[in-house]
Amino acid sequence: MATSARALNIDRLNIALIAVSMLLAVRWPFETLLLAYAVLGPLHYMTEISWLHDRNYFLPRRRDVWPLLIGGLALILALIVIAGLGLGKQTLHRAVANGALFALFGFALAMVLTPSWPKRLLALAVLVPACLILARSASFADSLAGYIPTVIHVYVFTGLFMMLGWLRRPSRDSGGALAVYLLCPLLCWLAPLGFSASASGWAERSFVGTLGSINELILGDAGLTLDPSQITGHPLSILVTRVLALAYLYHYLNWFSKVEVIGWARISPTRAGAILSLWIGAVALYFHDYLLGFAVLLILSFMHVVLEFPLNHRSFREIGSLVRNRISSLPAQGSPTS
């Protein structure tokens, strides 16, 4: 009974957190997104990686994480070099980078499905050329590669985790939290533009070259190319930023609300001290120079996405299993019921 009551309280808390995130996102879209990413983001990366480490990264053995760790680091460092050399617009470089990301995501599934290294290596031998072909031939590959560590990670995967919670313990509160989560982005989009304050000078300077790249990706897919000077003033960019601010802020708040899951009290004093010190340093770096903080923390941000891939796959499989069980338990059409 106590566990059920705590679950209901967390669901109600999350409804409130979603609503607060939406209100802040509508009123101050750029500041909310930038501050959430700079203040809550680094603490989220560190605490989640710590939590994943204690659970063997949801792999059969903790040492199995090394291919993901090495592959993710190699990919993000290669992307930084490509960007620094101005090679990001070359089709071949983009295709290789995108294919590597898709292969990493697929290989995480192979490692979840089997502990056998011969089978994993066979899967990798199939994945690498298949993902490169996909990245070269599919017009949506660039967009998909950009969305996986951003919109898909912070909004889609968060929603799937909430769905999994509802399927595990169906209740009006868990269902309500999921419904509110799906509704609020629409409300962010439909709220009159006059509800949003203009971006401050700090937000304008900090947004371009950092999180503004997500707006550029989304608006570019919609056929709209904006000059950097327009990114904080164009009506569509403001609407997109509202939704992103809601998604990012709630993504972090949702994580920190899981007190029982994270188990703050179980973190050793040494690790807690290291996390706290690194977090304070990261926030200070962001406030000193947002672009520098974004560049330095980009590796940690990307790696926490990659290291979560096995958990994502396990969650997808459990959602599928629970949905199938629900469907199979339904009475056949026309059959008598008690």
Taking every pair of Cα atoms in the chain, the longest distance, rounded to a whole number of angstroms, is: 70
270 lies in a domain?
A: yes
pLDDT tens-digit series, residues 25-36: 999 999 999 999
pLDDT at 177: 95
- Structural domain that includes position 65: 2-318
Residue at 68: amino acid letter: L
pLDDT tens-digit series, residues 220-275: 999 999 988 899 999 999 999 999 999 999 999 999 998 777 777 788 899 999 99
CA distance 332 to 330: 6
SS3 169: coil
333 lies in a domain?
A: no
What residues contact residue 115 under an 8 Å CB cut-off, 6+ apart? 60, 61, 64
What residues contact residue 82 under an 8 Å CB cut-off, 6+ apart? 88, 93, 97
327 lies in a domain?
A: no
261 lies in a domain?
A: yes
What's the average model confidence in pLDDT over 46-71? Answer: 95
332 lies in a domain?
A: no
63 lies in a domain?
A: yes
Least confident of 2-6, 138-142, 173-177, 308-312: 2-6
CA distance 52 to 59: 10
338 lies in a domain?
A: no
- Give how many domains the chain has, as a whole number: 1
DSSP secondary-structure letter at 335? -
pLDDT tens-digit series, residues 293-327: 999 999 999 999 999 999 999 999 999 999 998 88
pLDDT at 103: 96
CA distance 319 to 199: 40
169 lies in a domain?
A: yes
CA distance 241 to 253: 18
What's the average model confidence in pLDDT over 3-15? Answer: 74
pLDDT at 329: 79
